[in-house]
């Protein structure tokens, strides 16, 4: 069997290079052996192997799991936290490449499998399983993924994929990886593509099956591609399409309703004479004495808002760094590392927001508020992650976090995030209570019977439709990057979509809140959070659709892992969107009731 990635190295020849690509990354000069001429350049091009994965299973495996040719793994580079969490395991490759030195059918090693050896049969069956499930190699050459390019139709269109199969023969495709049966090990011929290697189903006790791994390398000079744009053929553009249209349409609705209808209401309220009967009041002004009445489950709402603020800050900072180029695909694992570090440091923001909101609700159990803010939402995420890690441990997957990494994550949580949450809560409780523009009546006002469109369930279901419509295009590419080994790089578009999401959640929640207040329903606190938070429900439905239509997962363990990771993503997105909607609605309600004139005698009743 020959694994034949013809690596076409589009590397720059030894020359003066002045190119900006990413902060902290610079091009490496390579030269042919003996041609350095006193200049600093390298001859050997390091090639690293990574974990193998497939769209037919969520469980990745390390390179050595399939009994391939190995090198000294003690020389493995140190992965950052993000790489470890994502299951990347980068190891030195047994394939040796020297700059501008073509290689023709060089043998790496030969693996012998004896029918009398149960361990050998187990390894051979594992190899067949990997091929049957289409597990893909992922190699790294000069900090770039090794790609496999093949024809996708009769017209000659070429598609390049980051990764290539363990061993296969695909008809009608321009194949570069191949499974070849080398009959003469002393005279290897990698061009014998028709002489395919077939792995036997069974081996008798006296039979031995051998696999010889070979590789070839061809260098081709390319003067049209600059070093700074060498990723372009891998990274394809991704459309935003209808997101700006939705935002413009929704913004127009808000302008029409709020600047016209609301302006008329405020003008009419403020023109009313003081001696008029209370019956002349109508709409949202009627509930001014109840609109700031603290909600039920105020503690839980404050905890969710604190954690949501933490997730919002993490998303904003991480996307900002990504837009600046610090977290590109060339800097593997940096995105997750940045997100985790920022989330830990924003524990202070979570504590402050939670304490501030809880105090405005009149809450007095400040110790419980601090503990729940620092434990509930992070605890849910870590518990799910730990359960799924146990499954990965049981499967021997490379995605299983080592015990030392789990200890490091716990140390970040309890050693950094929790103390910062306490500090933030301390300053939050020290601040004076938020003064509402109107006073709250002692006796709650009776809420009239509501129509269908002002019912709580209806508003919550409707509230997530438009925000989800703004993100589902980008969501497809994000899921592809998570489950289909495709690289996501359009962080500028993603940042714009995030801004669009914030605007859409805010405007949708404000509109629904205004309708409910006009219907004299003043229970808006939880409804504001859940209306925009329901976008996470549509996200979950879309993830289920992606699982059924895009992936070919059938085993129970992979299904459990997929939906476990999906639930973590949906939960964090629920906190994010819910907090955005609540904060927008909170600002809106305070604003409109601070503008109208309220009779102080009626307000005390």
**Which pLDDT belongs to residue 279?**
45
Give percent of the chain with pLDDT exceeding 90: 23
CA 75 to chain centre: 30
pLDDT band at 602; cut points 50, 70, 90: very low
Question: Are 216 and 190 a contacting pair, CB within 8 Å?
Answer: yes
Overall average pLDDT of the 74-92 stretch: 82
Q: Is 86 or 374 the better-scoring residue by pLDDT?
A: 374
Q: Is 534 or 272 the better-scoring residue by pLDDT?
A: 534
Residues 6+ apart with CB under 8 A from 343: 310, 311, 314, 417
pLDDT at 2 over 60: no
103 three-state secondary structure: strand
- Cα–Cα distance for residue pair 334/516, rounded to 1 Å: 44
- Cα–Cα distance for residue pair 326/319, rounded to 1 Å: 10
- Cα–Cα distance for residue pair 172/339, rounded to 1 Å: 43
Q: Is 222 or 158 the better-scoring residue by pLDDT?
A: 222
Q: Is 582 or 517 the better-scoring residue by pLDDT?
A: 582
pLDDT in tens, 281-307: 556 777 777 788 888 889 999 999 999
Question: Are 333 and 81 a contacting pair, CB within 8 Å?
Answer: yes
Overall average pLDDT of the 169-179 stretch: 47
42 three-state secondary structure: strand
Lowest mean pLDDT among 7-11, 115-119, 455-459: 7-11
Residues 6+ apart with CB under 8 A from 121: 113, 115, 203
- Cα–Cα distance for residue pair 406/300, rounded to 1 Å: 28
Q: Is 21 or 140 the better-scoring residue by pLDDT?
A: 140
pLDDT band at 180; cut points 50, 70, 90: low
Lowest mean pLDDT among 177-186, 214-223, 337-346, 447-456: 177-186
H helix intervals, 361-402: 366-395
Helix (H) or strand (E) holding 130, with range, is: helix 118-132
**Which pLDDT belongs to residue 181?**
64
455 three-state secondary structure: coil
Task: For helices 298-323 and 334-345, give the axis angle rounded to 10 degrees.
Answer: 140
**Which pLDDT belongs to residue 113?**
87
pLDDT band at 547; cut points 50, 70, 90: very high
pLDDT at 604 over 80: no
Which among 429, 294, 297 is positioned nearest to 356, based on CA atoms? 429
**Which pLDDT belongs to residue 182?**
66
Structure letter (DSSP) for residue 78: P
Give percent of the chain with pLDDT exceeding 70: 78
97 three-state secondary structure: strand
pLDDT band at 423; cut points 50, 70, 90: very high
Lowest mean pLDDT among 169-183, 255-269, 559-573: 169-183
Overall average pLDDT of the 188-195 stretch: 65
Question: Are 476 and 312 a contacting pair, CB within 8 Å?
Answer: no
Residues 6+ apart with CB under 8 A from 192: 180, 181
Residues 6+ apart with CB under 8 A from 68: 49, 94, 213
**Which pLDDT belongs to residue 238?**
47
Structure letter (DSSP) for residue 90: -
Tokens of 298: 């105020």
pLDDT in tens, 384-411: 999 999 999 998 888 888 888 899 999 9
Lowest mean pLDDT among 102-116, 334-348, 420-434: 102-116
- Cα–Cα distance for residue pair 529/363, rounded to 1 Å: 19
Overall average pLDDT of the 174-196 stretch: 62
Residues paired with residue 428 on neighbouring β-strands, in sequence order: none
Q: How many CA atoms lie within 13 A of 101 on its CB side?
A: 15
The domain segmentation of the chain, as residue ranges, is 7-222, 297-430, 459-605
| Burial class for 63, CB neighbours closer than 10 Å (0-12, 13-18, 19+) | buried
Residues paired with residue 106 on neighbouring β-strands, in sequence order: 215
Overall average pLDDT of the 346-365 stretch: 91
**Which pLDDT belongs to residue 436?**
80
């Amino acid at each position: 069997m020959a694994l034949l990635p013809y690596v076409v190295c589009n590397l720059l020849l030894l020359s003066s290079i002045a190119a900006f690509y990413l902060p902290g990354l610079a091009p490496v000069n390579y030269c042919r052996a003996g041609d350095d001429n006193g200049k600093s350049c390298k001859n050997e091009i390091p090639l690293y192997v990574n974990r193998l994965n497939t769209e037919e299973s969520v469980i990745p495996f390390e390179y050595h799991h399939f009994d391939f040719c190995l090198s000294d793994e003690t020389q493995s580079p140190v992965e950052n936290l993000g790489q470890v969490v994502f299951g990347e395991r980068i190891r030195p490759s047994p394939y040796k490449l020297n700059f501008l030195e073509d290689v023709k059918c060089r043998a790496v090693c030969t693996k012998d499998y004896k029918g009398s050896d149960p361990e050998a049969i187990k390894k051979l069956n594992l190899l067949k399983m990997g091929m049957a499930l289409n597990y893909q190699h992922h190699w790294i050459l000069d900090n770039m993924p090794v790609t496999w390019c093949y024809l996708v139709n009769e017209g000659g269109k070429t598609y390049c994929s980051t990764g290539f199969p363990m061993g296969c023969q695909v008809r009608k495709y321009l194949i570069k990886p191949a499974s070849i049966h080398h009959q003469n090990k002393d005279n290897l011929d990698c061009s014998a593509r028709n002489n395919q290697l077939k792995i036997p189903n069974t081996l008798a006790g006296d039979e031995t099956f051998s696999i010889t791994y070979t590789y070839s390398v061809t260098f081709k000079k390319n003067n049209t591609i600059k070093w700074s744009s060498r990723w372009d053929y891998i990274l394809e553009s991704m459309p935003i399409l209808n997101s700006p249209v939705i935002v413009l349409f929704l913004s127009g609705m808000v302008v029409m309703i709020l600047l016209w209808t609301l302006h008329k209401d405020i003008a009419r309220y403020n023109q009313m004479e003081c001696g008029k009967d209370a019956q002349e009041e109508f709409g949202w002004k009627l509930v001014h004495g109840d609109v700031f009445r603290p909600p039920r489950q105020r503690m839980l709402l404050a905890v969710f808002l604190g954690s949501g603020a933490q997730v919002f800050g993490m998303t904003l900072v991480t996307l900002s760094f990504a837009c600046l180029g610090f977290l590109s695909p060339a800097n593997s694992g940096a995105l997750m590392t940045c997100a985790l570090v920022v989330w830990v440091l924003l524990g202070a923001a979570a504590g402050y927001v939670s304490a501030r909101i809880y105090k405005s609700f009149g809450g007095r159990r400040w110790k419980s508020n601090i503990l729940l803010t620092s434990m509930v939402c992070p605890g849910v995420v870590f518990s799910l992650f730990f359960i799924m890690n146990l499954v990965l441990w049981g499967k021997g997957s490379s995605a299983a976090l080592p015990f030392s990494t789990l200890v490091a994550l716990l140390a970040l949580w309890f050693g950094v995030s929790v103390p910062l949450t306490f500090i933030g809560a301390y300053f939050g409780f020290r601040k004076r209570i938020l003064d509402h523009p109107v006073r709250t009546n002692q006796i709650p006002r009776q809420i009239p019977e509501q129509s269908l469109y002002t019912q709580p369930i209806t508003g919550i279901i409707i509230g997530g439709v438009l925000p989800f419509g703004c993100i589902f295009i980008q969501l497809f590419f994000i899921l592809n990057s998570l489950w289909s080994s495709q690289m996501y790089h359009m962080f500028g578009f993603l940042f714009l979509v995030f801004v669009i999401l914030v605007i859409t959640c805010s405007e949708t929640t404000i509109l629904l809140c205004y309708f409910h207040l006009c219907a004299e329903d003043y229970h808006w606190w939880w409804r504001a959070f859940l209306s925009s938070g329901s976008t996470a429900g549509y996200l979950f439905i879309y993830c289920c659709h992606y699982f059924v239509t895009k992936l070919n997962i059938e085993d129970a363990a992979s299904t459990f892992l997929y939906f476990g990771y999906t639930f973590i993503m949906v939960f964090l997105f629920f906190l994010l969107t819910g907090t955005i909607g609540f904060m927008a609605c909170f600002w809106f309600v305070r604003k409109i009731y601070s503008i109208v004139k309220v009779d102080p005698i009626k307000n005390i009743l």
